[in-house]
């Protein structure tokens, strides 16, 4: 029997704590996208999305 459960890993303890917060109508999305800034790229740890 195979287990397809994906184990989430975190870069830091604070990232793990933040991901488990309850923020009401806001959802936390981990590492949502790559942001381009000229010749640089930034990968945010989280984005916040509000339920509409």
pLDDT tens readout for residues 4-50: 677 778 878 888 887 788 888 888 888 788 999 999 999 888 888 88
In 3-state terms, the chain is what percent helix, strand and coil (to 5)?
15, 35, 55
C-beta atoms surrounding 48 within 10 Å: 10
* Global model pTM greater than 0.85: no
pLDDT band at 52 (very low <50, low <70, confident <90, very high): low
Q: Are strands 46-50 and 26-30 parallel, antiparallel or unpaired?
A: antiparallel
Residues 10-23: tens digit of each pLDDT: 878 888 887 788 88
pLDDT band at 2 (very low <50, low <70, confident <90, very high): low
C-alpha 24/C-alpha 40 separation (Å) is 34
Indicate the domain borders of the chain.
Answer: 27-52
């Amino acid at each position: 029997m195979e287990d397809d459960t994906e184990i989430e890993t975190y870069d830091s303890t604070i990232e793990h704590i933040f991901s488990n917060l309850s923020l009401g109508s806001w959802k936390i999305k981990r590492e949502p996208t790559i942001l381009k800034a000229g010749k640089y790229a930034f990968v945010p740890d989280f984005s916040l999305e509000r339920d509409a």
